[in-house]
Amino acid sequence: MVETQLRNQPIPDEWEADFEAAARRPLALRMRYAFIHTYKPVLDDAPFRTFDTMKEYREWCERNLPSWLGYGRV
């Protein structure tokens, strides 16, 4: 096992092996695996939307998007 610099806790051997295997993959494959598409309700249901003002956009977000997406005002 390899120890981390920050907490001196051992890194499990299987994690180290996974990291080394990932590091040997071609960059294009690593990039493909790096991003996971998650469906976002309402946002992903139309190819695009346009608004004349930022105010209209913010109002639309508040009316239409679930709060857990984080597009509401704070």
- The answer to whether 2 touches 15, Cβ cutoff 8 Å, is no
pLDDT at 33: 87
pLDDT at 16 over 80: yes
Domain ranges of the chain: 2-34, 37-74
**Taking 60 as the threshold, does the pLDDT of residue 3 lie above it?**
no
Q: What is the mean pLDDT of residues 2-29?
A: 85
Confidence of residue 24 (pLDDT cuts 50, 70, 90): very high
